Amino acid sequence: MLRMKDNGEAEESILPPDYHTHTFLCKHAEGAPVDYAFHGVRRRLPALAATDHCPMPGGYDPEHRMGIDFFPEYVRLVETAREVSPIPILFGIEVDYVPEYAEEVKDWVQQQGFDLVLGSVHFLDYWAFDDPAQRYLWESADVAGVWRRYFGMIRRMVEIGLCTVVAHLDLPKKFGRRPPPRLQKEIVLPVLDVIADRGLAIEINTSGLFHPVGEIYPSPEILCWAAERNIPVTFGSDAHTPERVGSAFDLAVRLARECGLRAMTIEPSRRS
């Protein structure tokens, strides 16, 4: 993306790093970190993070994540990409908050030396509420009740210190199902207070633009409430194919600026 200087010359715009990308290891994405880096350079991104789905104990949801046996391969892929990439690559992970495994997963995550830990809730009990194959369950759902349960889980995830950045904060809107604004405020504000209190960041995730809701996660209203609490943001495409890296970041940057948000950046470790 180019913009014009005052003297009419073209100037490169500064896009933020893409801190949310996946790899083929999670079985529902394509490409390796080196492919994401290649496309990140093409899109003039300053850095990116590999944040594939975290292995879970007990074989939980094995079809959407690498098994623990493949974690060394993930480490190797990130290290290999770092050797050849002209832009820094953070060693990250996207961790699911599942109450019965949370402490075990937290201990394991803390031992791995990640640069970035995204925290997500994709499941309410065994309902993958954001999975298109299970979308039909929304038809009989109490929407406000689902939102309350979801944000209750986000709150507990933050309170136990599982992550450093909360990913796609209003994910339950994916298929366009959300409570009225006044109720959303009642549900979301206390959780933002806890996020601010714990010094965490939230993510501006552009993948919602490509989902039925057609809107960045989280909504402009939630982003403005976050700005009022001085919560920093990171930017993530949630790319599941390398071509999607950094997608719609110009929109995301404009939104962050309009809401008065400050961006958080992270220095990569010298792991490799």
Binding stretches for Zn ion (CB under 5 A): 94, 120, 238
Q: How far is the CB of 96 from Zn ion (least distance, A)?
A: 8
Nearer to Zn ion, 86 or 214 (CB): 214
Phi-psi map region of 238: left, alpha, beta (phi>0 left; psi -120 to 50 alpha) = left
Choice between 23 and 85, CB closer to Zn ion: 23
Report, in Å, the least distance between residue 94 CB and Zn ion. Answer: 5
The Cα–Cα gap between 228 and 222 comes to: 10
Task: For Zn ion, give the closer residue by CB, 1 or 24.
Answer: 24
Task: Find tokens 């995830």 and name the residue.
Answer: 157
Number of C-alpha atoms within 13 angstroms, CB side, residue 88? Answer: 16
- H/E run at residue 179: none
- Give CA–CA dist 121/169, Å, rounded: 9
Are 34 and 80 within 8 A, CB to CB? yes
Q: How far is the CB of 209 from Zn ion (least distance, A)?
A: 15
Q: Which is nearer to Zn ion, 177 or 211 (CB)?
A: 211
The residue (of 8 and 203) whose beta carbon lies closer to Zn ion is 203
Give me the least distance between CB of 116 and Zn ion, in Å please.
12
- Rounded distance between C-alpha atoms, residue 200 and residue 192, angstroms: 10
CB of 6 to Zn ion, least distance (A): 39
